[in-house]
Structure 1
Amino acid sequence: MERPSLRGVAAAATSLLALVATSLVAGPAAAATGEEGPCALPRTEAHHSLGVAGWDDAYPRPARPLDAVMIFLSFPDHSPTTTPAELAADHFPATTHFFQRSSYGKFTLRPHPLRQWIRMPRPSDWYGMQRDWDSERRAAYLRDAIAVIDPKVDFSRFDIVYLVADPDAPGVDSDATKVVNFGRPLRMDGTDIRRIVTVFEQHPPDRNVLAHETGHLFDLPDLYHRPADDEGDWDTYVGDWDLIGSQFGLAADFFGWHKWKLGWLEREQVVCVQRPQDVALEPVAAVPAAGAPLGTRLVVIRTGAGSAVAIEARGATGNDRTTCTEGVLIYRVRNDIPSGDGPVEVIDTHPGTGACWGRSVYAPLADAPLRAGETFGIPEVHTRIEVRGRKPSGAWDVRIITGAQP
């Protein structure tokens, strides 16, 4: 989950100003090259737009190794009972391994945890940490943190910054873990810092929480639905089927669409359907043996100027190894819907039923994938999807019939 933006940071570490109440607007996109093909949606000004044609250079693209500094903050009202090494081990190397698997070895996140606590100037409960944090207290937390960190960290060495609070301090609320975006980059040690992950997790933390937050640093949107009263279901858009939807999901890998956006899937692994055809879909989470081709991982049907239907296979392998159902997943994508408002919606091919009750984050969508021998029609594109079976290699044999009545 992301925090609203920060505005007006000057070069000095102590000049952080107030937080803005609105989301950070997506920056200018890199020019689209046309290499992504006719089904690639263009970027829009929506926050974390899911357009894949072009890249917003305000975000580091995880197509090369990136270095992350992990900084540990203590408070005068509590002596830490854990060590920085223990807290670092809560997240690494697990988070690095998650991204290596998800990217098929194309991306490595290299952690650099500090070995000591850095003391904040005020008691932990003074900052009022919580999910919907008071903007002035939140700004004070960041201003104080930057002031005490600056003499000890050379920010020019790092692409990513994690601020980890003492989990046992009385004012620390694990629900406050967020990405904070700066409305104007903070200039430190000759480098621009545009966003920081503030970590308030308990020890041990929620599973995959740092991978979820790091996904926002790579311009991926929140996919959950936050109910107005915070009391209803949060996972009605995508259920278990993407980490950025829920860090607790049973099928925790990223959607194939996200992997396409991040550059982990290339055009030859994405089929743009414009006529009836048969496709052998490899499970999106399957990591091929060294030197083996990826095969087809994503099928896309363009449905409009800013919309598409995506089709991919999900199976119990890689980051999806804890999934309780397998099959061919179908979902809608929009490039003009901002983070948190439902830019992706999984299509439930088995409406009225569910699966994995008690384990799934949203059981009605846990059985969303099509199984072997099943057929599903997509009315808006007059297309029928037939899952004919599964090959010995593990790929799903899918027939896509365009121009069909659903």
Structure 2
Amino acid sequence: MRSTPPTPPAHPPRRAARGGLPRRAAARRAASVLTVLTAVVGTSSFAGPTTGRPAAPPCALQRTDAHHSLGLDTWNDAYVRPERTVDAMMVFLSFPDAPPLTSPSQLAADHFPATGNFFERASYGRLDLRLHATPRWTRMPKPAHAYGIARDWDAEGRAAFVRDALAVTDPGVDFGDYDLVYFVADPDAPGVDSDATKVVNFREPITVDGTELRRIVTVFERFPADRNVLAHETGHVFDLPDLYNRPHDGKGDWDTYVGDWDLMGSQFGLAPDPFGWHKWKLGWLDAEHVDCVGSPGTSLHSLQPLGRTPVRRGHAAGTRLAAVRTGPNEVLAVEVREPLGNDARVCRGGVLVYRVRSDTASAGGPVEVLDGHPESSACRTTSVHPPLADAPLGVGETLSVDDGAVRVTVLDRSVTGEWAVRITRR
């Protein structure tokens, strides 16, 4: 028999909920949602409005039309900005042919506070992701198998699922009170495919409760769920790309681009903390934490470990990232990864070098980790991709990139933990 975990603490939403609606008004609102959702629902994205940032240094790539572009000069306002408090609503969906075997409180505790804690550490305290969970199951009108739930779900079945889910939950949930929404399906219901968890983007935003919804996270996980799976999907809501390499036949190695580094590659990775470039994009690092390498020559950099907790909450201390502009839409990024924070289980720490491309779409290889030890591998029983588990450089080691156009050399590690790195570019 499964034990019941403690119910996650409740947080008041940003503004008070309007309370229950009269039955007739609730029915009218649900019908309105159904009408709005006759628009096509898909997994495509769109450029969206932009918000400028302070003058960016020369190594900050410009955002392109690529899906989840890693450009930093503007913010895409179609996505939730992950700063300060972000309120998330979690709704639990059951099906008429399968009485649930778990409770909503069990499923909520399976994801929180772990997901919130992950982002609190990753953001140096700049993001407070707060969960608001419905206390009971909401029943869908059809069995799960009627929707054809699967990883490569056809748009018609996915649209029908989201349309029905909004219709049955809207009378009891004021979506205008929340920044993002998780629809969590009963993990034991026949027809629920645990490989189908995904963010569903609307090709055109829909208006519910006076607010625009652009995407919903649909969760079809087992219980207990895969580690960090909800943090990965939430990363997409914050405009982060998939970093895995999906084989054409769905078989083979998915983790050849970044291995264990960054949960947007694999939620199972040993070093799931977001790359420093991602933290810069999300506003958790500022230009003062980044050394830009511009002109040819040699430069010296003192890098703090990316996962080191700052002395002052909400503000990273010291330089956390060095970046070398190597093309109009490309940089080499250099950072230190050690067994700290989200990377407590890292295989091999040291100075990690990776390539970032702002014109490459999600799942197409926008980030590529460069292997500092291409002839070896490590942590074969625990790493998602052992050849890259020992990618970081140690003291005294050098990585030559692009036929020697850029050389990264690790000079020293001080007793206080800073790493001295020399970067030479032709």
| TM-score (norm: length of structure 2) | 0.89
In the other structure, the counterpart of 2:153 is 133
In the other structure, the counterpart of 2:235 is 215
In the other structure, the counterpart of 1:6 is none
Alpha-carbon deviation of 1:172? 0.7
Task: Determine helix, strand or coil for the equivalent of 2:110.
Answer: helix
In the other structure, the counterpart of 2:319 is 296
In the other structure, the counterpart of 2:60 is 40
In the other structure, the counterpart of 1:334 is 357
In the other structure, the counterpart of 1:355 is 378
Alpha-carbon deviation of 1:341? 0.5
Q: Is the 8 A contact 1:281 1:313 kept in 2?
A: yes
Alpha-carbon deviation of 1:280? 1.4
The residue correspondences of 1:6-405 to structure 2 (distance < 5 A) are: 12-15=32-35, 16-17=37-38, 19=40, 23-34=44-55, 36-274=56-294, 275-290=297-312, 294-379=317-402, 382-403=405-426
Deviation by residue 1:262-289 (Cα, 9 ceiling, x = unmatched)? 0000011000012422111111122123
Task: Determine helix, strand or coil for the equivalent of 1:116.
Answer: coil
Point out where structure 1 has 5 or more consecutive residues left out of the alignment: 1-9
Percent of matched pairs sharing the same residue: 59
Task: Determine helix, strand or coil for the equivalent of 2:204.
Answer: strand
Q: CA RMSD in A?
A: 1.6
- Code of the residue aligned with 2:46 in structure 1: it is V
Alpha-carbon deviation of 1:11? 9.2
Q: In 2, distance between residues paired with 1:21 and 1:170?
A: 24
Q: In 2, distance between residues paired with 1:147 and 1:22?
A: 20
Q: In 2, distance between residues paired with 1:60 and 1:329?
A: 29
Deviation by residue 1:129-173 (Cα, 9 ceiling, x = unmatched)? 110012211111111101101100001100000000001101111
Aligned residues: 393
Q: In 2, distance between residues paired with 1:139 and 1:352?
A: 47
Q: In 2, distance between residues paired with 1:380 and 1:30?
A: 38
Q: In 1, distance between residues paired with 2:317 and 2:158?
A: 44
Q: In 2, distance between residues paired with 1:89 and 1:222?
A: 26
In the other structure, the counterpart of 1:5 is none
- Code of the residue aligned with 2:181 in structure 1: it is V
Task: Determine helix, strand or coil for the equivalent of 2:216.
Answer: strand
Alpha-carbon deviation of 1:381? 7.0
Alpha-carbon deviation of 1:21? 6.5
Instruction: Describe the shift of the 1:148–1:50 C-alpha distance in structure 2 as closer, same or farther (beyond 3 A).
Output: same
Alpha-carbon deviation of 1:342? 0.5
Q: In 1, distance between residues paired with 2:306 and 2:337?
A: 6
Q: In 1, distance between residues paired with 2:31 and 2:279?
A: 35
Q: Is the 8 A contact 1:26 1:49 kept in 2?
A: no
- Code of the residue aligned with 2:371 in structure 1: it is D
Q: Is the 8 A contact 1:25 1:46 kept in 2?
A: no
Task: Determine helix, strand or coil for the equivalent of 1:71.
Answer: strand
Alpha-carbon deviation of 1:251? 0.2
Task: Determine helix, strand or coil for the equivalent of 1:260.
Answer: helix
Point out where structure 2 has 5 or more consecutive residues left out of the alignment: 1-29
- Code of the residue aligned with 2:279 in structure 1: it is K
In the other structure, the counterpart of 2:22 is none
Task: Determine helix, strand or coil for the equivalent of 1:151.
Answer: helix
Alpha-carbon deviation of 1:31? 2.9
Q: Is the 8 A contact 1:303 1:381 kept in 2?
A: no
Instruction: Describe the shift of the 1:277–1:53 C-alpha distance in structure 2 as closer, same or farther (beyond 3 A).
Output: same
Q: Is the 8 A contact 2:293 2:323 kept in 1?
A: yes
Q: Is the 8 A contact 1:47 1:339 kept in 2?
A: yes
Task: Determine helix, strand or coil for the equivalent of 1:175.
Answer: coil
